[in-house]
Amino acid sequence: MAGKVVLTGDRPTGSLHLGHLVGSLKSRVELQSSHNQYIMIADVQAFTDYFENTQKIMDSILEVTADYIAAGIDPEMTTIFIQSQIPALTELTVYYMNLVSISRLERNPTVKAEIAQKDLGKSVAVGFLCYPVSQAADITAFKAELVPVGEDQLPMIELSNEIVRKFNRLYNTSCLKESQAYLSKVGRLVGIDGKAKASKSLNNAIFLKDSPTTIKEKVNSMFTDPNHISASDPGKIEGNVVFTYLDAFYTNKEEVASLKVRYAKGGLGDMVLKSLLNEILQQEIKPIREKRESLSKKVLLEICSEGTKKAKSVAQATLAEVKEAMGVFFFDEKF
Ligand code: TRP
């Protein structure tokens, strides 16, 4: 595939939901026809959180792969691969670890927030603190030029570029390439409870594999405006999850604008809006669910295995360049 190298990744901690669809899957589907796109299933990175439950992560790999394909990722155009199956990534991580100080890792705002949120304090594991270094290995192994991510991942790309510059300077080489973040145009989708972003662990997301009944139930339970008691009351748009989802999924923007005006004025009931949103989401998810159901385990395994084989040889080639630059070769023939 011609075009720039694009790399993204997801931690396989469960199947994907509407937040992933608007936040990343749609743009990946667009990017794949004009770029050389890799999508990494970041199981090793997920282990930094789930080392006590590796099975959960392994069980999610094919779930996530199914979601990718169902959402329109084409394995002929995009290379889907599994991080743990590529030893070159681990090797690169170990070499890069010498280029990064502990205090630099402790200053990473995303990691810092995660440590505070999980109340890890000084008991934070070395593996966890180092996951941004491992992410630099992912990015550089493929010489990724564009890394589509959310804002919270910007510090990772910054660190990756620091490692690239330091490595190239130290070993007088240009084998590693800097990358650029490609920020998603859509912000994070809020959960159906309106409290936080949609996520599996908060149980507030609509999944791509949800049944029509589940979708309907979830739409009906969406947070709206608690003071909008009868249809004739004026209602609040801001923080009203139904409108957030209409904004994200309803293509008829004029209609959304006019519904907002009517709702704010009073005279539009929640149930009317919810049934409209339900219809739109059912239409959005139906083809995805159907495609998902048509995918056999055998096909999904084949997709992961083909992609991993291809990714492995690319990462291996970068590792060879890195070792060459460092002067780390000993035997004459290649191992
Ligand atoms: N940290 C990313 C996340 O939590 C996942 C990830 C791992 C990633 N390696 C990557 C993203 C490399 C982009 C590039 O979502």
Sorted by where each starts, the structural domains of the chain and their CATH numbers stand as: 5-189+297-326 (3.40.50.620), 212-292 (1.10.240.10)
Nearest to 140 by CA among 153, 159, 115: 159
pLDDT, tens digit, for every residue of 183-227? Answer: 877 778 999 999 888 988 888 999 999 999 999 999 999 999 999
The alpha carbon of 36 and the centre of ligand 1 are apart by a number of angstroms equal to 17
pLDDT, tens digit, for every residue of 269-310? Answer: 999 999 999 999 999 999 999 999 999 999 999 999 999 999
Q: Give, using CA atoms, the residue closest to atom 14 of ligand 1.
A: 8
The alpha carbon of 135 and the centre of ligand 1 are apart by a number of angstroms equal to 6
Q: Which CA distances in Å does 139 have to 163, 169, 261, 275?
A: 11, 18, 46, 43
108 CB near ligand 1 (under 6 Å): no
Instruction: For the chain, give the mean pLDDT.
Output: 95
Best probe residue, ligand 1, of 5, 8, 90, 163 (max atoms within 8 Å of C-beta): 8
Nearest to 179 by CA among 149, 207, 204, 215: 149
The alpha carbon of 332 and the centre of ligand 1 are apart by a number of angstroms equal to 36
Q: Which two tokens stand for residue 152?
A: 């919270």
Q: Give, using CA atoms, the residue closest to atom 10 of ligand 1.
A: 9
This prediction's pTM: 0.94
Report the alpha-carbon distance of residue 103 to residue 306 in Å, rounded: 39
